[in-house]
Chain A
Amino acid sequence: MARRKEKVCLCISIPIICIIIIIIICATHFNEECADGLYKKAAVAADSETCSKIGRDILQLGGSAVDGAIATLLCTSIINPQSMGIGGGSIFTIREQSGKVRVINARETVPKAFKTDLLAMCPTTTQPMEGAHWIGVPGDIRGYERAHKLYGRLPWASLFEPTIKMAREGVPIPYVLSRFLPLLLKEKPESSLRQLFQNEQGELLKEGEIVRFEKLADTLEIIAKHGADALYVGDIAKELVSDIQNAGGTISLEDLRSFRASEFGAWEVTLGEYDMYFPPPPAGGATLSFILNTMLGFILSSASLEGDEKVLTFQRYVETCKFANGLKKFMKDPQFSSQTEAVEIIQKHFADKVRAKISPDRTYDASYYNITPYLDSHG
């Protein structure tokens, strides 16, 4: 009888001890401290500390990664206005907790009426291309709207608040923006863009001086309150179209009204132990995946950067890039051209074929890489 009791006791206590051990291991694992400079819960990497912090604050308020990204982008539109803004377009790649990866594409589109000889105006060298005829239908806010509808956790308006406040109160001109402001000296003194960045004496603002974006703050406030439609079908749309047409552009209310952000599954390739997810053309992820797929086959490690191996590694890399340059012509809008070649170049067998053509110690003429001439973009 006593032995039976002992057995029952053991049967009950062993699983309990096991559970306690598992709980202790898990608790230790999850409470592990991270080294200095690392984060435990969440992070944002943007082009400025100001905007990374705004994104982080949104996450700490309970916002989703999408909420954080939208608030960060809005902030960037006034910290680095030379780089992006709601008059542009964007492409999101979003990984859900389940592992599903979705792409939201809000890249600009050609308006319904465009200069038929537009491409004849292309320069033959890389240079700034100014003028209303180059404006594509802006998609940014439609992209934010779609992403927020699918994944937003905080109210839409709350994502705009930090940027509206900064735009009204003014922000010190950051170093990076200050380096590009002299480009505006080319504009006429009465140009509204130049006026935005000059003081009452007509001098361009310098690093650290305060710039206010009052009109943009009004626009953002209306979009925050009334949603994306305010920009695409409301009064702001009329004002925007009127300004574009006054500058000689062709974008119409119909172009804004009909703009849609598209949404689809990401393309995926396996790179060793990693699954890489990226947007399909017209974005450049397929070219990137081709380069990585080709380089992966050379069996790389930290030793690849030591001694003579380093030269060989970079020889292989630059040769791969030359082949990649020949593939860029396939990065086109799938609505208007076939995706067959783009699908082909992300395949392993394609990378294998190209790798076999790469010499360890020589390079070739452009024809070897099947390159048709094109211009580099400095966007």
Chain B
Amino acid sequence: TTHVSVLAEDGMAVSVTSTINHIFGSRIFSPKTGILLNNELADFCGKTDQIHAGEQPPSSMSPVILYSPSQKHIVVIGASGGSMITTGVALTLMNFLWFGKTLQDSISAPVVFVDSKNVLNFEPLFDKIVLESLYKIGHKVKVPQMFYNVVNAVSKENNCIVAVSDSRKNGKAAGY
């Protein structure tokens, strides 16, 4: 999956998420057209008992735009990373809008992802004291090495634009 956030000079904003689902999708490559095909129907697994022709599978994709009329502040944001999309965007927005971090710090802050078994997955470098405290409370915890949450966002406030692509995927934003 990939996410693109765009803010144009005229104020129009686009937040778009695009995917072929898993890494290399279905791994079916059409040699005549050069197109690599998705495996999106896998997203129905474990989420329904029945599927129908024409139905779209459930998704975590969240291409979001926020606007504050009072502060004239716009945030164009989204993420890739399957189920970790929600974690990535939620924690970035909490860090940025409520905890007072910069957009860069909000995106790069280590996350905790609560998986479908309700196990807390801590990104390496997450605050150890918090991790241990939550473990003592009774949460199941683990520290996997691979994290897929990749947030790309653009924010405009006071006539200046900040654009950040997540370093987890070696991204870099551009503007003028």
CB neighbours of A118 from chain B (8 A) = 41, 44, 51
Option from B36, B64, B152, B163 in Cβ contact (under 8 Å) with A81: B36
CB neighbours of B160 from chain A (8 A) = 32, 34-35, 38-40
Option from A53, A85, A284, A304 in Cβ contact (under 8 Å) with B99: A304
CB neighbours of A244 from chain B (8 A) = 28, 30, 37
How far does the alpha carbon of A291 sit from the alpha carbon of B17 in the complex, in Å? 20
Chain A 47-86 near chain B by CB (<8 Å), digits 1 or 0? 1110111011001100111101100110010001111111
- Given contacts A48-B171, A107-B59, A136-B38, is CB(A69)–CB(B14) below 8 Å? yes
CB neighbours of A336 from chain B (8 A) = 52, 55
Residue of A nearest to B37 (CB): A87
Q: Does B22 lie within 8 Å of A276, measured CB to CB?
A: no
Q: Does A239 lie within 8 Å of B19, measured CB to CB?
A: no
Q: Does A97 lie within 8 Å of B28, measured CB to CB?
A: no
Q: Does B67 lie within 8 Å of A99, measured CB to CB?
A: yes
User: How many interface residues does A have (CB within 8 Å)?
Assistant: 162
Option from A128, A282, A288 in Cβ contact (under 8 Å) with B64: A288
Interface residues of A in 248-282 (CB under 8 A from B): 249, 266, 271-279, 281-282
CB neighbours of A274 from chain B (8 A) = 66-68, 73, 75, 97
How far does the alpha carbon of A64 sit from the alpha carbon of B9 in the complex, in Å? 8
CB neighbours of A219 from chain B (8 A) = 33-35
Interface residues of B in 46-89 (CB under 8 A from A): 46-71, 73-76, 80-83, 85-87, 89
Chain A 272-316 near chain B by CB (<8 Å), digits 1 or 0? 111111110111110110011001100011101100001100110
How far does the alpha carbon of A34 sit from the alpha carbon of B175 in the complex, in Å? 12
Interface residues of A in 174-205 (CB under 8 A from B): 174-176, 180, 183-184, 187, 191-193, 196
Residue of A nearest to B104 (CB): A37
How far does the alpha carbon of A373 sit from the alpha carbon of B49 in the complex, in Å? 12
- Given contacts A35-B160, A378-B82, is CB(A236)–CB(B44) below 8 Å? no
- Given contacts A274-B66, A374-B116, is CB(A108)–CB(B40) below 8 Å? yes
How far does the alpha carbon of A47 sit from the alpha carbon of B153 in the complex, in Å? 11
CB neighbours of A32 from chain B (8 A) = 158-160
Shortest distance from the beta carbon of A363 to any chain B beta carbon, whole Å: 5
The reply on A29 being an interface residue by CB < 8 A is yes
Q: Does A284 lie within 8 Å of B35, measured CB to CB?
A: no
Chain A 109-140 near chain B by CB (<8 Å), digits 1 or 0? 11111100011001100001111111110101
Option from B36, B76, B85, B174 in Cβ contact (under 8 Å) with A55: B174
A-B contact count (CB 8 A): 533
- Given contacts A88-B18, A363-B138, is CB(A187)–CB(B62) below 8 Å? no
- Given contacts A292-B94, A375-B46, A376-B82, is CB(A282)–CB(B159) below 8 Å? no
How far does the alpha carbon of A131 sit from the alpha carbon of B55 in the complex, in Å? 19
Q: Does B148 lie within 8 Å of A65, measured CB to CB?
A: no
Shortest distance from the beta carbon of A342 to any chain B beta carbon, whole Å: 11
CB neighbours of A46 from chain B (8 A) = 2-4, 152, 165, 171, 173
Q: Does A183 lie within 8 Å of B38, measured CB to CB?
A: no
The reply on A247 being an interface residue by CB < 8 A is yes
Option from A39, A49, A119 in Cβ contact (under 8 Å) with B161: A39
Q: Does B56 lie within 8 Å of A108, measured CB to CB?
A: yes
CB neighbours of A29 from chain B (8 A) = 159
Q: Does B62 lie within 8 Å of A129, measured CB to CB?
A: no
Option from A72, A91, A363 in Cβ contact (under 8 Å) with B63: A91
How far does the alpha carbon of A175 sit from the alpha carbon of B168 in the complex, in Å? 12
- Given contacts A89-B40, A123-B45, A129-B39, is CB(A55)–CB(B66) below 8 Å? no
CB neighbours of B73 from chain A (8 A) = 274
How far does the alpha carbon of A118 sit from the alpha carbon of B77 in the complex, in Å? 34
Option from A53, A196, A277, A378 in Cβ contact (under 8 Å) with B65: A277
Interface residues of B (CB under 8 A from A): 1-71, 73-76, 80-83, 85-87, 89-91, 93-94, 97-100, 112, 114-118, 120, 127, 129-130, 133-134, 137-139, 148, 150, 152-154, 158-166, 169-176
Q: Enumerate the 8 nearest inter-chain pairs by beta-carbon distance, A residue then B residue, closest first.
A: A215-B34, A43-B175, A216-B34, A39-B175, A122-B45, A43-B163, A49-B172, A90-B18
Would you give 9 A-B contacts (Cβ < 8 Å), ordered by A? A43-B173, A63-B8, A84-B19, A92-B63, A183-B24, A273-B69, A317-B94, A317-B112, A333-B57
Question: With contacts A42-B176, A274-B97 known, what are 9 further pairs, Cβ within 8 A?
Answer: A39-B161, A52-B165, A56-B175, A132-B28, A135-B39, A136-B41, A138-B38, A217-B34, A284-B61
